[in-house]
Amino acid sequence: MPAALMQDELFRAFSTYALIVILKMMMMSFVTAYCRITRGAFANEEDVSCRSAEEKKKMLRTDPEVERVRRCHLNDLENVVPFVLVGLFYALSGPELSSALLHFRVFAGARIFHTFSYLGHLPQPCRALSFFLGLLVTFSMAYNVLSNVFAI
Amino acid sequence: MPAALMQDELFRAFSTYALIVILKMMMMSFVTAYCRITRGAFANEEDVSCRSAEEKKKMLRTDPEVERVRRCHLNDLENVVPFVLVGLFYALSGPELSSALLHFRVFAGARIFHTFSYLGHLPQPCRALSFFLGLLVTFSMAYNVLSNVFAI
Amino acid sequence: MPAALMQDELFRAFSTYALIVILKMMMMSFVTAYCRITRGAFANEEDVSCRSAEEKKKMLRTDPEVERVRRCHLNDLENVVPFVLVGLFYALSGPELSSALLHFRVFAGARIFHTFSYLGHLPQPCRALSFFLGLLVTFSMAYNVLSNVFAI
């Protein structure tokens, strides 16, 4: 039997959007792995153990594209995790459904566009704008929660 | 209508402190951006696209101050996120209000002081002590939860 | 008085396993500190302030073992935090207790083995398999939640 929370339309919507951005973030692991393999740039000795000594040396290196993917993944961690945590308090604090949906949708859109901007080398300010839009949504939710439940 | 949880004084206090440390953590993004701009040390080509070829080369570099800010941000991720997650279980496990407030306040204070120590180059053991104090709070909350709800 | 959630056997089990993997992740901070001290490889000037100028230069360096521990810690952040967040929605969505326990136990086992593989330089595919097993559990939980509560 699902907890009562999951009967709530707003909490279901929050769960859906939170899962979408978390899954998007986890996809970055596959992008990193793909990039490491196609570019032959590994970080750990055991990943290249079946190669000759000379090849090993070449393959244990940092590659600019791999580092870019890793920065994108770290940026997701720095933004998606706060969104989900702040969003949890926000969803529990009883906002308007329409206003909450707007927050969730803008954030999900902004972060998906951020990933495309980052990995696709799109010219600035694509990446910067999508980054700030995501931050703005999280700050707006945090403001809503604090103005409701502030207790220090 | 806010969920019943948010009527609870303890959960309101937890929400407040959790948001304070999450917002503090998110502020690190701005510090990184500020530091990258004032020091002219960027990681991505598209961030310096409007510069001459020679300037570009100079600006695509790692800077020790920028790396310090990034380490501070990563340290926040490694400590603030576990605090919020463990704190959520802790707040749900029904601790004494006074004891819970003590945990939340000490953690928030320790992490704010940790950031000042890190960014301000304060001599050790400022940073180490504030770091361990934060860990201690999270471990103490985890111990409290486990001793209440342990079910493996 | 604990919240009603904590009376629920499934939620107690989730809390326990979530805390186990979070604590394991936090342990990585100690491994990093231990590794930095025994190998004399520090990142911050103030950490070596009591040394002579010559020693300082030598000790402010990156060490392959320290970087390995840091990559392992970051990998935990990238996998354990999504597990706990997705698991929270999963636990609230009312799965079968036996199926949920299987998810939690496999994940905890996989991540503990992943850490041993990473830090112990175990030959591949030890690390890769434990990594993918962990991902698989999180994806399976996410699929379960989405098929229950999808609302976009």
Contact B2 A148 (CB under 8 A): yes
Say what the pLDDT of residue C54 is.
80
Most confident of A134-143, C5-14, C38-47: A134-143
Band of pLDDT at residue A151, cut at 50, 70 and 90: low
Q: Which of B82, B138, B149 sits opposite C6 (nearest CB)?
A: B149
Residue A29: its chain C contacts at CB < 8 A? 78-79, 131, 135
Band of pLDDT at residue A89, cut at 50, 70 and 90: very high
In this prediction the pTM is: 0.92
pLDDT above 70 (res C2):
no
pLDDT above 60 (res A1):
no
Say what the pLDDT of residue B50 is.
76
pLDDT tens for chain B, residues 1 to 152: 456 777 788 888 999 999 999 999 999 999 998 988 888 888 887 877 777 778 777 777 788 888 889 999 999 999 999 999 999 999 988 888 999 999 999 999 999 999 999 988 888 788 889 999 999 999 999 999 988 877 66
Most confident of A44-48, A59-63, A109-113, C53-57: A109-113
Assembly ipTM: 0.89
Residue B9: its chain A contacts at CB < 8 A? 151
Query: Phi, psi (5° rounding) for residue C124?
Result: -65, 155
pLDDT (tens digit, 9 = 90+) per residue, C39-61?
Answer: 888 888 787 777 777 877 777 77
Q: Which of A68, A86, A135 sits opposite B44 (nearest CB)?
A: A68
Q: Do C136 and A3 meet the contact criterion of CB atoms below 8 Å apart?
A: no
Say what the pLDDT of residue B3 is.
64
Q: Do A21 and A108 meet the contact criterion of CB atoms below 8 Å apart?
A: yes
Q: Is the dihedral of CA C84, C89, C91, C96 positive or negative?
A: negative
Residue A47: its chain C contacts at CB < 8 A? 124
Q: Determine the average pLDDT of the residues in A8-37.
A: 91
pLDDT (tens digit, 9 = 90+) per residue, C120-151?
Answer: 888 878 888 999 999 999 999 999 998 887 76
Residue B29: its chain A contacts at CB < 8 A? 78-79, 131, 135
d(CA B108, CA A22): 26
Q: Determine the average pLDDT of the residues in C90-105.
A: 91
> Given the structure tokens 């990473």, which residue do they identify?
C118
Query: Long-range contacts for B125-132 (Cβ within 8 Å, ≥24 apart)?
Result: B127/C44, B127/C46, B131/B75, B131/B79, B131/C29
Of C115, A3, C108, the closest CA to residue B152 belongs to C108
Coil, strand or helix at A118: helix
pLDDT above 80 (res A63):
yes
Say what the pLDDT of residue A72 is.
92
Interface test mutation site (partner A, options C85, C97, C121, max chain A beta carbons within 10 A) = C85
Interface test mutation site (partner C, options B89, B140, B144, max chain C beta carbons within 10 A) = B89
pLDDT above 60 (res C1):
no
